[in-house]
Structure 1
Amino acid sequence: MRNTFISALLAASIVLTGAAHHAHAATNDDYLPMASAAISTATAKIVDGKVDVNGVRYHYLLAQGKQDGTPVVLLHGWGSTSYMWRYVMPQLVARGYTVLAPDLRGLGDTSKPATGYDKANVAEDIRALVAKLNLGPQVNVVGHDMGGMVAYAYAAQHPDEVRTLAILDVPLPGIEPWDQLVQTSRTWHFRFYSVQDVPEMLIAGHELEYLKWFHNSEAVNARAFTNEVEETYAREYAMPGALRAGFEYYRAFPQDVKANQAFSATKLTMPVLGIGGAGSFGPIIGDHLRHVATNVEAVNVQGSGHWVAEEQPAVVTGALLRFLPPAR
């Protein structure tokens, strides 16, 4: 697992290093990639491991940056695993950040329990993982899709332990305009995945075909999803129990709505960054997050749909580097 995964991270990051100037010209972004030698050195620092937290065997990627630097925790969403950070993670490590990228409960190489997929509970998993790996007392949390929902629950439950929060292209359950969004064609899959047993029955055995279709249906820059990328995700979602676990994140939405409405009674005060694709939630993410936080910045990523860190990784990396506190 490690050799294949780390090799993929290195290859992807070198591609980003060579291509980022095009993204710079297209987006007026001031991000400059590290040289390939620096990325190679950073990638060599990334190790993968497994540890038990909250009764779940968590798989994670971890790279130690500068001594005493505030760590960055990267949380993926549905249709992805920690592999989604293959462009962003080495760039952060190369600049001295300590970076943790776990596979969430039930997904990737993390074990797949039957229950516990409400975002407040998964946030407690991640907090326990941070503690187990001695990365506290404060972390910067970045989450995409379901990982963004988990990131918010982490910050809302433990605001003194989250220095900054970044949420990538996802609405928070129960927070305006959630009720309107879940009735639109844009979120059709929220309703489909919430049906017990049926999505698993229909998609099992067709993970590659389905994920190819789903990734491209939500992408603007579909070139981000090569055959190699799709095959990687298909293998991970074809693991026993992975489809069911992934859909349990959607089936937990009623719990998440109640939790978030209670959390939002006290607005977050740490810096919050919303990053969304212009072809997805980018146009609304800033206003949406202002319902739960007082200090919000927003970035609307041109040339991207939902999968911002894979469709426009240079833009996302640049936005994070401007937002995160400096690596000490």
Structure 2
Amino acid sequence: MTKIKAGDIDVHVQRMGPADAPMTVVLLHGLLYDSLASYYFTVGPALAELGIDVVMYDLRGHGRSSRPASGYKLEHFVDDLRGLLDELGIDHPVHLVGNSFGGTIAFGFAAAYPERTASILFMEAEPPVRQWAIHIREGLTDAVHRLGKPDAFDYIADTYGSHPARLSKAAYKILQSTTIVDDIPNSALISEDLSEVTCPVLGVFGTQTGLAYQVDLLRQKLTAFDVQILDGMGHSVLVEKPALTRTMVADWLFGGHQATLSAAGKVGA
């Protein structure tokens, strides 16, 4: 693991797999409770063993990356990813796998840099349009309220265990020490019709969170879209079903997106 200067922050990054790999996948973790460790202990090493160039990194404010007091709009996260790819010398299109907020970053990056985006696989995420901004504001406000209760961490430890309690404490520290609560809901959005997103996209949803409401809308708006609906699953598909996640990502990278392109009449485009 190492740190790389990307713009105005130091980014903690881990790169795995052969240097001459035919494809690069960037694994983007979720907000507050996540870090690159979420991928390192689930899908990252397995993808590298398949001969893929795998890039995992801590988002700004998370893990071992820099935690500036401000600068947490979506566009900052997108710029960090661009800067990281530049510093790593990765100039070919990359496949983006995003969990939760990581999926939103993937959409933002694909909209800003379509020539650098090969495909998106997102898990339990929303593209950065008006409805997402409403939902993320509600979610961050609720997190501040719940984690700010005097007995919050004791309750989490007693109910879910010590590890979730540690993650919750880290999340609350981010909420309290940065402008993230105000910044993210006021991010620059992409077009409601998602016209800037031209790469193949696979969406993965659990049936227990309500985010699957987007499926029909995404099918209407995206040029090449496929979906996996996981019955009985909630928001934590990545950590609860790592083997299934590995299979979905590998299938997508080694052929699923080509099938989606074929269905959209775009093979060879």
Give the TM-score of the pair, scaled to structure 2.
Answer: 0.80
Matched-pair identity in %: 23
CA RMSD of aligned residues (A): 3.2
Matching of residue 117 in structure 1 with residue 63 in structure 2: no
> Residue 121 of structure 2 corresponds to which residue in structure 1?
166
Match of residue 83 from structure 1: 37
Alpha-carbon distance in 2 for matches of 1:104, 1:212:
29
SS in 2 for 1:283: helix
Aligned to 1:311: 240
Give the corresponding residue for 1:251.
182
Q: Is the 8 A contact 2:68 2:178 kept in 1?
A: no
1:60 equivalent among 13, 25, 30: 13
Q: Which runs of 5+ in 1 are unaligned?
A: 1-47, 217-225
Q: What stretches of structure 2 of length at least 5 have no aligned partner?
A: 256-269
Distance 1:189 1:82 in 2: 22
Distance 1:192 1:283, change over 3 A: closer
Aligned letter for 2:223?
Answer: T
Name 1:269's counterpart in structure 2: 198
Pair 1:191–1:230, CA change in 2 (3 A): closer
Residue 76 of structure 1 aligns with an amino acid whose one-letter code is H
Report whether the alignment pairs 1:72 with 2:3.
no
Report the TM-score when normalising by structure 1: 0.67
1:173-232 CA distances to partner (integer Å, 9 max, x unpaired)?
425x658x749xxx9534335xxxx6598269955755886xx6xxxxxxxxx64x4366
Equivalent position of 2:174 in the other structure? 242
Q: Write the deviation string for residues 215-270 of structure 1: whole angstroms up to 9, x where unpaired.
A: x6xxxxxxxxx64x4366357547xx53336771x5334433x52237x4524221
Which of residues 173, 183, 190 in structure 2 aligns to 1:260? 190
> What secondary structure does 1:107 align onto?
coil
1:148 shift after superposition:
1.1
Q: Give me the whole-angstrom Cα distance separating, in 2, the residues matched to 1:211 and 1:291.
A: 43
Which residue in the other structure is 1:138 paired with?
93
Cα distance in 1 for residues equivalent to 2:140 and 2:59: 19
Task: Name the structure 1 match of 2:139.
Answer: 189
How many residues get paired? 253
User: Secondary structure of 2:105's match?
Assistant: helix
